[in-house]
Structure 1
């Protein structure tokens, strides 16, 4: 059986869409259903058997570091400037084993099948450098109607470019060989585009529910979602 991949938790952002809620705390410490968002992500990891976790820190990182103290999670500090998703991941790679890595945004709540398990079960390193977890855009809670990607019958993914398609849920497996940028700060969009151009970017569907908690209204919506979930444990 394949060993679980290491997991990068994106936790460095400013959380500006949260307004006053992030004036004095980082977004990953905002509570949903009694649990800080970063602990929702940690529970997803634990349920998937993932034990090697790294989190990047920048905005009010001292609070997150204190919260994670003793957890065994590696901390990748972005002291001088925030490095965006690609730069943050590349900077954290020395804290992770070589080979493909999972990443998970820490501003979402999940129900149904474990998102990390779904990704790991679908991963095929012979064909893939990139695997996205997706949901049909029309089915997504807290979505704006946008589509990020289209996906063909084989699972290959490309940019939606205005076409109806699928929403990226902030969970993926990516091979570090895609991270060829030399600058410190960069987005993951360019590495994703390279994987698509090579025919090595794929998607897999999440068969449960998902709620974006990147904005204040997402808190109540996520709490309603978890109350309705039959498989949700008490918190």
Structure 2
């Protein structure tokens, strides 16, 4: 089970419209609690927690002043998920890590616990937590992956990536670009049969758009 987690919190949150004019998306509240705090609660038992920032970075830094969290500000540009994760490796260390998006809400068991229990270092380069479309609250459009019987993932299908995974980071060094998405790494892993998925048994809400707030609160019963 990884002892470090990377929480992605650097984006502009443009899909949120006016809600992110004066605050970063991770500080939007759902049920009286910020998205970032909800994410941090899920990984409270992980020894090393890292949050990246860019847009209104000082607000996130101030919000985390009293918490045992390392904040890394990406400047002058956002590095995307792949570049951002590679930039944080001096703090995260060389071993596999959890990564989490900060704009999702879960109703059910702790997603990190499920991933940790299912992680197989020898077989997997990444293990992505997914949810079937019918349990993906607020999701617009199709799914991201197909989950085979042996647990391997391929692009396209009815499984939605929840934004939480365990990932080996050694392959990040092979990308020449400064800014790049983890999607590129997943594609390479899938081509080698090393990209795996795990179904989340509960429900998951996408809070990447304004309507997701009320849907998430309804899901949580708040």
| TM-score tier after normalising by the smaller chain length | over 0.9
Residue of 154, 162, 168 corresponding to 1:175: 168
- Tell me the CA shift for residue 165 of structure 1: 2.3
Report deviation, 1:54: 0.1
Q: What is the CA-CA distance between 1:182 and the residue it aligns to?
A: 2.0
1:220 to 204, 208, 214: 214
Question: 1:53 aligned to 2:49?
Answer: yes
Inter-partner Cα distance in structure 2 for 1:52 and 1:20: 33
CA deviation after TM superposition for structure 1 residue 224, in Å: 0.9
Q: Separation in 2 of the partners of 1:154 and 1:29?
A: 38
- Residue 120 of structure 1 corresponds to 116
Counterpart-to-counterpart distance in 2, 1:205 and 1:54:
25
Please show how residues 181-196 of structure 1 align to structure 2 within 5 Å. 181-196=175-190
Secondary structure of the residue aligned to 1:72 is: coil
The Cα shift of 1:227 comes to 1.2
Mapped to 2, the partners of 1:120 and 1:178 lie a distance apart of: 21
2:206 and 2:135 map into 1 onto residues whose CA distance is 13
CA–CA distance in 1 between the matches of 2:23 and 2:141?
Answer: 29
Structure 2 CA distance for aligned equivalents of residues 211 and 135 of structure 1: 10
Quote the offset at 1:133 in angstroms: 0.3
Q: Which residue of 1 aligns with 2:205?
A: 211
- Partner residue, 2:159: 166
Partner of 2:76: 80
Aligned with 1:12 (options 10, 13, 16): 10
Structure 1 gaps of 5+ residues are 229-235
Paired with 1:38 and 1:140, the residues of 2 have a C-alpha distance of 20
Structure 2 counterparts to residues 75-114 of structure 1, below 5 A: 75-114=71-110
Superposed CA offset, 1:108-127 (max 9, x none): 11111101111111100000
The gaps in structure 2 that reach 5 residues or longer are none
User: What is the CA-CA distance between 1:184 and the residue it aligns to?
Assistant: 1.2
Cα distance in structure 1, aligned partners of 2:46 and 2:31: 23
C-alpha RMSD of the superposition: 1.1
Q: Does 1:157 align with 2:153?
A: yes
Match of 1:55, SS? strand
Distance 1:111 1:62 in 2: 30
